[in-house]
């Protein structure tokens, strides 16, 4: 059997590890337009800031490809897929045949169609090469100020690099608050305060209308809606990503916003699978398929796809939207349904303290969402409760306040009352059909 995987990140790693659990002899070929072994993408801004070395960025040990008998074709871009011929065609014209194919090409940055996006000194921030190019640029003496357009996860991650660069950064966001698609006004205000405390100017409810260039074609300013100009010498475009599907045009693979897959990560074409940020998969809370572009889900997709590619019959149970990152000294997590103003049937509990905000959202007896800022205690437990949709049996106030000793005592009392021992169990394996 000849397995070909397009892409070399979390979904690809998960798929290889599942395939090798089932088939130790089949050929596995990974094709990627990046020249690197699989690396931790969230680490690229830490690398810019100097807190992570390049040799610390590998997602798996150096011998991982060799021990799993994976042939790599790195730095090679796929031009198209021809399912009728069972071939992948590279931009250089080379053809790679397959018996089963996995599409794991992730997302590609969105570049809005505004004036000046071709200016020298403008960057995206999703790949290691982006980080390297940005670092080389901002290390120049003339670069003193920068603008990050977009206040989502990618935009906010740029500020993790600030301690390692001598550039004053301004954040520009179209919405009226940072992380406005996941955080309410109270929690977002805490993030904005943390950014301001670190010297970041935050400009919300405005849009970048143009990138202005100097006589040499380099960034000199960002013009905002209304005409105001922010002088700068670099711009990070971080308005979001979209599934990387352009090379699938004409292949017959069904695409909505992302690649459409069934619960086994199968596409509309026989023996072609897809996984990771490139696909639309099940949201367990809504029951609908959507793009949920986060690392753990990409890996899970890959695991399910790999098992099925190798002849098993596994089902992906679904995931939930999840954000988790530190903003300077302030940690935050969001998961599930977090914005409740237009959902009157939900119950909301809020706990606040000094630089702490915790919000839990319940639908009847089930936890369906949470926002944690400053105190992310039991974040993993909350994620599991939301995703499993099991009834919450412990005291909700204890869960809200995140007191581990009190929560443990509460659980033990409940277990004793039911005449059964409470025990921690590993998350069950993804189901077999």
The CA distance from 110 to 266, in Å, is 26
Based on the fold, state whether residues 164 and 234 are members of the same structural domain.
yes
Share of the chain above pLDDT 90, in %: 81
The CATH number assigned to the domain holding 158 equals 3.50.50.60
DSSP 325-344: EEETTEEEEEEE----TT-T
| Host H or E run for residue 27 | strand 27-32
- Share the mean pLDDT of the chain: 91
Mean pLDDT to the nearest integer, 189-198: 94
Mean pLDDT to the nearest integer, 277-288: 94
The CA distance from 194 to 190, in Å, is 6
Residue 329: the pLDDT is: 87
- Structural domain ending residue among the three candidates 185, 204, 239: 239
266 lies in some domain:
yes
The pLDDT confidence band at residue 421, using thresholds 50, 70 and 90, is very low
Residue 420: the pLDDT is: 36
89 beta partners: 80, 95
Based on the fold, state whether residues 267 and 285 are members of the same structural domain.
yes
225: left (phi over 0), alpha (psi -120 to 50) or beta: beta
- Other CB atoms within a 10 A radius of the CB of residue 199 amount to 11
Written as six digits, the tokens of 431 are: 């189901």
DSSP 294-309: -HHHHHHHHHHHHHHH
31 lies in some domain:
yes
Share of the chain above pLDDT 70, in %: 93
The CA distance from 197 to 177, in Å, is 16
Structural contact between residues 105 and 88, judged by C-beta atoms closer than 8 angstroms? no
pLDDT at residue 225 greater than cutoff 60: yes
Based on the fold, state whether residues 169 and 195 are members of the same structural domain.
yes
- Burial degree of 381 (CB within 10 A; 0-12, 13-18, 19+): middle
DSSP 408-419: HHHHHHHHHHTT
Written as six digits, the tokens of 333 are: 């997590």
| Tens-digit pLDDT profile for residues 68-112 | 999 999 999 999 999 999 999 999 999 999 999 999 999 999 999
The pLDDT confidence band at residue 164, using thresholds 50, 70 and 90, is confident
Q: Single out the residue of 305, 301, 316 nearest to residue 101, CA to CA.
A: 305
Q: How many domains does the chain have?
A: 3
Residue 426: the pLDDT is: 36
| Tens-digit pLDDT profile for residues 310-324 | 999 999 999 999 999
The CATH number assigned to the domain holding 407 equals 3.30.390.30
- Other CB atoms within a 10 A radius of the CB of residue 270 amount to 9
Question: In 212-258, which residue ranges form alpha helices assigned H by DSSP?
Answer: none
432 lies in some domain:
no
427 lies in some domain:
no
Residue 428: the pLDDT is: 39
317 lies in some domain:
no
pTM: 0.90
The CA distance from 199 to 187, in Å, is 19
- Structural domain ending residue among the three candidates 224, 239, 254: 239
The pLDDT confidence band at residue 209, using thresholds 50, 70 and 90, is very high
Based on the fold, state whether residues 235 and 254 are members of the same structural domain.
no
114 lies in some domain:
no
pLDDT at residue 425 greater than cutoff 90: no
Based on the fold, state whether residues 129 and 221 are members of the same structural domain.
yes
Mean pLDDT to the nearest integer, 49-74: 95
Based on the fold, state whether residues 145 and 227 are members of the same structural domain.
yes
Please state, in angstroms and as integers, the Cα–Cα distance from residue 305 to each residue in 27, 43, 127, 189, 242, following that order: 16, 26, 24, 40, 21
Based on the fold, state whether residues 232 and 249 are members of the same structural domain.
no
Based on the fold, state whether residues 11 and 25 are members of the same structural domain.
yes
pLDDT greater at residue 161 or residue 266: 266
Residue 423: the pLDDT is: 32
| Tens-digit pLDDT profile for residues 352-396 | 999 999 999 999 999 999 999 999 988 988 999 999 998 988 788
The CA distance from 327 to 305, in Å, is 34
- List the Cα angle 117/122/128 in 5-degree steps: 125
Mean pLDDT to the nearest integer, 192-208: 94
315 lies in some domain:
no
Q: Domain of 254?
A: 2-108+242-309
Based on the fold, state whether residues 235 and 180 are members of the same structural domain.
yes
């Amino acid at each position: 059997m000849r397995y070909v995987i397009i892409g070399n990140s979390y979904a690809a790693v998960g798929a290889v590890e599942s395939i090798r659990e089932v088939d130790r002899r089949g050929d596995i070929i990974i094709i990627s337009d990046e020249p690197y072994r699989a690396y931790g993408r969230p680490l690229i801004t830490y690398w810019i800031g100097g807190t992570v070395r390049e040799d610390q960025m590998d997602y798996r040990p150096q011998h991982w490809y060799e021990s799993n008998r994976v042939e790599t074709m790195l730095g090679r871009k796929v031009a198209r897929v021809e399912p009728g011929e069972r071939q992948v065609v590279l931009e250089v014209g080379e053809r790679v045949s397959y018996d089963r194919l996995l599409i794991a090409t992730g997302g590609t940055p969105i570049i809005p169609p505004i004036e000046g996006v071709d200016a020298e000194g403008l960057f995206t921030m999703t790949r290691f090469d982006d980080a390297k190019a940005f670092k080389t640029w901002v290390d120049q003496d003339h670069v003193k100020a920068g603008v990050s357009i977009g206040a989502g996860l990618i935009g906010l991650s740029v500020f993790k690099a600030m301690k390692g660069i001598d550039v004053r950064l301004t954040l520009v966001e179209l919405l009226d608050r940072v992380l406005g698609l996941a955080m309410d006004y109270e929690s977002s205000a805490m993030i904005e305060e943390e950014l301001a405390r670190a010297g970041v100017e935050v400009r919300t409810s405005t849009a970048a209308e143009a990138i202005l260039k100097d006589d040499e074609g380099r960034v000199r300013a960002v013009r905002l809606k209304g005409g105001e100009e922010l002088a700068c010498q670099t711009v990070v475009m971080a308005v979001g990503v979209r599934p990387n599907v352009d090379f699938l045009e004409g292949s017959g693979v069904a695409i909505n916003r992302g690649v459409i897959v069934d619960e086994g990560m199968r596409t509309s074409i026989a023996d072609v699978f897809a996984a990771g940020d490139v696909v639309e998969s099940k949201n367990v809370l809504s029951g609908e398929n959507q793009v949920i572009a986060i690392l753990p889900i990409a890996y899970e997709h890959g695991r399910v796809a790999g098992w099925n590619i190798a002849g098993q019959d596994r089902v992906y149970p679904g995931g939930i939207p999840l954000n988790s990152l530190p903003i300077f000294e302030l940690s935050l997590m969001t998961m599930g349904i977090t914005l409740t103003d237009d959902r009157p049937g939900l119950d909301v509990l809020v706990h606040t303290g000094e630089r702490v905000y915790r919000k839990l959202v319940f639908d009847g007896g089930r936890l369906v969402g949470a926002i944690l800022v400053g105190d992310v205690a039991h974040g993993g437990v909350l994620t599991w409760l939301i995703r499993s949709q099991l009834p919450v049996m412990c005291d909700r106030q204890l869960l809200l306040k995140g007191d581990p000793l009190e929560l443990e005592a509460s659980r033990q009392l409940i277990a004793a009352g039911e005449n059964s021992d409470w025990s921690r169990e590993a998350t069950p394996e993804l189901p077999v059909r």
